[in-house]
Amino acid sequence: MRDGIPHSLGELAEAIGARVRGDADRRVRRVDVLEFADGEALAFLANSRYRKFLKDCRAGAVILAEADLEACPVDALVMENPYLGFARAAARLYPEEPGRPGVHPDATLSPEAELGRDVVIEARAVIEAGARLGDGCRIGAGCYIGREVHIGAGTRLFPNVTVCEGVEIGARCRIQPGAVIGSDGFGLAREAGGGWVRVPQLGSVRIGDDVDIGANTTVDRGALRDTVIADDARLDNLIQVAHNVEIGEHSALAAFVGISGSSRIGANCTLAGAAGLVGHIELADQVHITGMTMVTRSLNEAGAYSGNIPAMPAREWKKAVVRFRRLDDLATRLRELEKRLGPSD
C-alpha cells in the first residue's frame, strides 16, 4: 500500500470522532489490512470474521469498537462504527489531488458555455453551447457535456463520461468512467404489422447533490417527465436505470441492478447485486432487496425481501406463485390436523 500524508493518532481521532487508547502522538502514513499492517499503518476491525487476526496484529493502530479493545495488542482508535472511521481516516491520509484549473488546449469548449471559478477541463473533453459548470467542477479527459447541461459546484466527472442534452447534475457528485447520463429511454410502440415505432424521449435527468454513479452505469432520460436520482444516492458499476425511474435519497444500488421504466425507489433503500425491478412499481422507504431478487410488484412496507427461481413457462410460474403464498397457511392447517389425529404409529 502506498504512503499517504502522515497524521498522528490524535489528529485522526479528532477528525473521525474517535478516542485514542495509547500514544496520541504516534504517526501513521498508510492504511492496510489487519493481517499485513506494519507499525506505520492504520488498520481497522469492523467484521467479526477478521477478529482472528487482531491478536497478532502489528499495525501502528487499529480502528475498532469498544467490545474489541481488550484483545487489541497495539494502539487503538475506538468508536462505535469502525468502518465509518476507516473511511474518514483514509480520506485524510489520501486526499484527492486537485486538478490544475483551466481548459486543456485539446479540449473543445463552446463560447456559449459558462464556467465557474477553478473549473478543470481535461484533454479531448467537449463542452457544448449552453452548458453551465459550477465552481470547482472537474471534467475528465474525453468527456462529452451536451447542450444546456447544468453541473453543480465541486462535481467530478472521470474520463469518458457522456452527459446528454439538458441533464442537471447537483453539487459534489462523482461520476465514474464510461457512465452515460441522459441517453434515450427504451420507448417503443408496436405497429399492427409487427414493427416498432420509437417513442420520442422528451424528458431529461435530474441528479441531486452528493450522488455517486459507477463506471459504465446508464441513466436514461424520461419519456415525458424526468428521471430523478435524489441527494446522496449511490449507484455502483454497470447499473441500468430506465426512463422516468425515481431513486430516493440515501439509497444504494449494487452492480448489475436493472430498474425498468417508471419504477420508484424510496429513501434509504438498498438493492444488492443483480436485483431487478419490473416497470411501474414502487418500493417504500427502507426496503432492502437481496442479491438476484426479481421484484414484480410494489413493496409498501419497509423490510428485507428475497426471491428467485429458475425460469419456467409463464403460466406455470403464475400458478406456482399462488401456491407459494398459500404455503404458510397450508403448513398451519397441517399442524392442526396432526394435533387432532394424534402421534403416528
Catalytic residues: 243
**Are the C-beta atoms of 8 and 24 separated by less than 8 Å?**
yes
Q: Could you please report the per-residue DSSP string of 243-273?
A: TT-EE-TT-EE-TT-EE-TT-EE-TT-EE-T
Per-residue DSSP letter, 52: G
Cβ contacts of 86 within 8 Å, gap of 6 or more: 31, 42, 44, 46, 63
Q: How many Cβ atoms from other residues are within 10 Å of residue 85's Cβ?
A: 25
- Closest CA relative to residue 158, chosen from 139, 145, 172: 139
Alpha carbons 251 and 272: distance in angstroms, whole number: 11
**Are the C-beta atoms of 54 and 65 separated by less than 8 Å?**
no
**Are the C-beta atoms of 72 and 41 separated by less than 8 Å?**
no
